[in-house]
Amino acid sequence: MSKENSFFSARNVALLGILLALVVVLQSLASVVPLFVTLNLALIPIILAGMLLGAWAGAFVGFACGVIVLIQVVMGLNAFYVLIWTNSPIVTTLICLVKTTVAGGVAGAIFSLLKKKNKYVGVFLASGIVPVLNTVLFILGCLCMSDTMRLMAGDAANILLFIVVDVVTINFFLEFATSLIAAPALHTVYTVAQRRIQK
């Protein structure tokens, strides 16, 4: 089988399907978490897709997550996103679709580059970069809607400070910690299971 077709093995397709299903479930459950910005537990399968299946799979699963978030926004399930959607639907759509797509692709690329040199470093860097990129791209997207953010900030003098402190701080640290713990652990479980199956 050629390298181009080797990805489409039954194992890889099944794994991609499982990770997509996890994204749907986790992101759907996240809409009921009572935080100002929805906690994105779906970052974990995005990280795993990038590490186990490559950069394009990480980007694909990340894009799927973005589509689900966008559907939740349109349905009015997230108060913060509803506010920015009302004022800037195009930028909001781009935020939803781009941040997790880029994060998943970059995680897969980082892991691919580092796995032969130091697999453990690759696992932890890939796991950490996804919540970082997800948050940074979210902040940049919000800064593109400065008028909307100014309305939401009220008396806050600095819009960037308002976004970082009031909007993303709690979520970022929770997502970062969860990603650094859960993704490497699940990657290890998967790797061990694969070795045992191959024996």
Whether pLDDT at 56 is above 70? yes
Give residue-wise pLDDT tens across range 16-39: 999 999 999 988 876 555 444 456
* Complete domains list, the chain, with CATH: 3-198 (1.10.1760.20)
C-alpha 57/C-alpha 48 separation (Å) is: 9
**Which pLDDT does position 151 carry in this prediction?**
67
71 HSE (CA, 13 A, CB side): 9
Whether pLDDT at 167 is above 80? no
Q: How confident is the prediction for the chain on average, in pLDDT? A: 85
Give residue-wise pLDDT tens across range 65-105: 999 999 988 988 777 777 888 888 999 999 999 999 999 99
> Which is nearest to 38 in space by CA: 50, 22, 27?
27
Higher-pLDDT residue of 152 and 37 is 152
**Which pLDDT does position 166 carry in this prediction?**
62
Whether pLDDT at 188 is above 80? yes
C-alpha 25/C-alpha 170 separation (Å) is: 22
Higher-pLDDT residue of 169 and 137 is 137
- For residues 175 and 43, the answer to whether their CB atoms sit within 8 Å is yes
**Which pLDDT does position 182 carry in this prediction?**
93
- For residues 86 and 48, the answer to whether their CB atoms sit within 8 Å is no
**Which pLDDT does position 85 carry in this prediction?**
87
- For residues 168 and 138, the answer to whether their CB atoms sit within 8 Å is yes
Q: Quick one: average pLDDT of 1-15? A: 69
**Residue 154 CA, distance from chain mean position:** 29
pLDDT confidence bin for 156, thresholds 50/70/90: low
Higher-pLDDT residue of 153 and 43 is 43
